[in-house]
Amino acid sequence: MVDEGLLERIKLKKKRLDGLRPFPKEALERLRENMLVSLTYNSNSIEGNSLTLSETRLVIEEGLTIGGKTLREHLEARNHVPALDAIELEVKKRKPFTEAFILYLHSLVLKGISERYAGKYRDQNTRISGSTYVSPSFHEVPALMSNFVTELNEKAEKTNPISLAATAHFELVHVHPFIDGNGRTARLFMNLVLLKTGYPITIIQRADRKQYYRVLEQAHSGKTGPFENFVARAVERSLNLYLEALESGRKKDEELISLAKAAEGTPYSQEYLSLLARKGKLDAVKIGRNWKTSKKAVREYCSLKRIGGRE
């Protein structure tokens, strides 16, 4: 379950974002380009790709080859472009989720990297690196994937989009249907779920890699709440970025500032605000390795504490 306060904040921000539609074409295109590069860099970096953010941008936007980097690393970056294009086209079709699309998405992720396994379920047993979880036998994968898609479509009408996206991501990783590319495919498929319901592209950051693996490990053992909240905070971050770029005339107390500045004149320290941000209790966004919030967000948290004593 997603924390109620966090989910309510997300719903309100989604409503604000929807109120700005139709978005200015130029601003939307610029946002999409930046989010594509960031999504590609962070998703690949989580899996060990050594291209930096600026190098990833050069590979995607300029088609350049970076000296000292492998062919696979270049292909991993380039393959995200048609993969996101395919997701956006699938959203427009307004169709139910299908196994065929998951396989197609995986084929794009591994294009030129592993033609033998691109778009095909694994034909051998495998282990998830660094995890104690033992994935199902490859013999079980087709039936598990069929059930996964059926259940996801059944849940689509009665589950909030954040929980649905987190479930889609986790269940794909839990079945671990492919020899390679499971994580990348799961993070892209999570975005399909979100985009279908009008949420922006959402990025799991490389800086949060340890926490990401930790909450996934908890989910493998049956405790899915931390992973759902982790995904929810990532969604909120994207909403913040979109609102900051698309809203004009933002009030002074809504501007994003450092936690040190936000703590001034409050009973809280920068460290305590950081803890609240990491827990999703404070409306904040992580940019790079640094959290930012607003005076308004801190004021609202203070009011909430006075009224209900919540932590």
Per residue of the chain (311 residues), give pLDDT as tens.
Answer: 899 999 999 999 999 999 999 999 899 999 999 999 999 999 999 999 999 999 999 999 999 999 999 999 999 999 999 999 999 999 999 999 999 999 999 999 999 999 899 999 999 999 888 899 999 999 999 999 999 999 999 999 899 999 999 999 999 999 999 999 999 999 999 999 999 999 999 999 999 999 999 999 999 999 999 999 999 999 999 999 999 889 875 566 777 788 888 888 888 888 888 888 888 888 888 777 788 888 888 888 887 766 555 44
Q: What is the pLDDT of residue 114?
A: 95
Give which of 222, 118, 134 is closest to 175, Cα–Cα: 134
Task: Give the list of residues 6+ apart from residue 249 with CB closer than 8 angstroms, or none.
Answer: none
* Predicted pLDDT of residue 256: 77
Return the closest-CA partner of residue 2 out of 237, 281, 286: 281
Q: What is the pLDDT of residue 297?
A: 84
- Catalytic site positions: 176
| Residue 310 confidence (pLDDT) | 46
